[in-house]
Structure 1
Amino acid sequence: MTYEEFADSRLDALLRYAVMLTGDPHTAQDLVQETMVRVQLSWRRVVASDSPDGYVRKILTNQFIDLRRGSWLRRVLLRAEPDPVAAPSDHAQESAERDRIWGMLSRLPRRQRAVLVLRYYEDLPDQEIADVLGCAVGTVRSSISRALATLRAELVEA
């Protein structure tokens, strides 16, 4: 498989995954672009791995977790952070609920949000999530538990 074939077949899925992580399509596009540059530069290692898709997902997830730690995004971000407050309720109930969930997810720590997206959006088992994040399976389970407890608490308050 060539880099171009991989990019053609996986780019849309990677972008959807990045949007779920970031909650912002523009930031997600930047994140995927930076990830694909890194993938192209290390393509031989990527294609030689057991799971090129998992390898790239790990790169993207690490890029997301490190997003604000002096990374490239801090230097090029020209717009304000998305407002964590839900949109006014003039929209349909579905839209308001979706915005509320996005707001709750955006307040989670990046690692917890990544764990939830990998589990419930990407439908990965604990071991694969641990491989992507470079941690133990127990850490994955406790991160999921903490994230869900935080979300439950916010739902009860509302």
Structure 2
Amino acid sequence: MNQRDEQEFAEYFAAKRDSVRRTAYMLCGDWHKADDLAQTAFVALHRRWTKIRDRAATDAYVRKTLVRVSIDESRRPWRRERDTEVLPEPDVVADRLDDQVATRQDLIVALRQVPPRQRAVLVLRFFEGMDVSGAAKALGCSEGNVKSQTARGLANLREVLGEEVETNG
């Protein structure tokens, strides 16, 4: 890579690293894993930087890479193991969903219980604000698949949270 390309990549990285890391966190629910996912996505981008003709599509490339890496990592057997000192006790059911989902952390915990593909669709649609066609393009699947994964993901999220999840879209 020549010096101009390295400079362009460095500028892109500096501008996007925080937003990519936040998206990775929404996908996995752990800041350390989010750092790993974001790093893997940026390494993949760096490898292909000179081959990317349409720089406007770079965000989509990073997003797609991030989602794929997240799904791949969730399939690895050692990623499913979780150490804990105390066994989780069932929480007392709150009267309203907004009482249950009082903090972002509660939502992240609930999202981690949704299967990876459905979680990816929910993050792209509701956190990233993508429409059905944009999410389908980012995931490399059909719009119908995105719609069904969204419905299943919301149903799973509702089940985990115990009440209706309101979506504005």
Q: TM-score range by the shorter chain?
A: 0.7 to 0.9
- Classify 1:153/1:68 alpha carbon distance in 2 versus 1 (closer, same or farther; 3 Å): closer
Gaps of 5+ in 1: none
Q: Secondary structure at the match of 1:66?
A: helix
Q: What RMSD over aligned residues (CA atoms) do the two structures have, in Å?
A: 3.2
**Correspondences of 1:35-114 after superposition (within 5 Å):** 35-48=41-54, 50-70=56-76, 80=82, 85=88, 97-114=103-120
**Normalising to structure 2: TM-score of the pair?**
0.74
Matched with 1:6 is 12
- Classify 1:27/1:135 alpha carbon distance in 2 versus 1 (closer, same or farther; 3 Å): same
Q: Secondary structure at the match of 2:52?
A: helix
The amino acid that maps onto 2:28 is T
Gaps of 5+ in 2: 93-98, 164-169
Q: Find 2:21's aligned residue among 15, 18, 22.
A: 15
The alignment-based identity, stated in percent, is 34
Which of 1 and 2 has greater Rg?
A: 2
Within 2, Cα distance between the matches of 1:25 and 1:146? 26
Q: How many residues are matched?
A: 149
The answer to whether the 8 Å contact 2:121/2:149 transfers is yes
- Following superposition, the deviation at residue 153 of structure 1 comes to 2.7
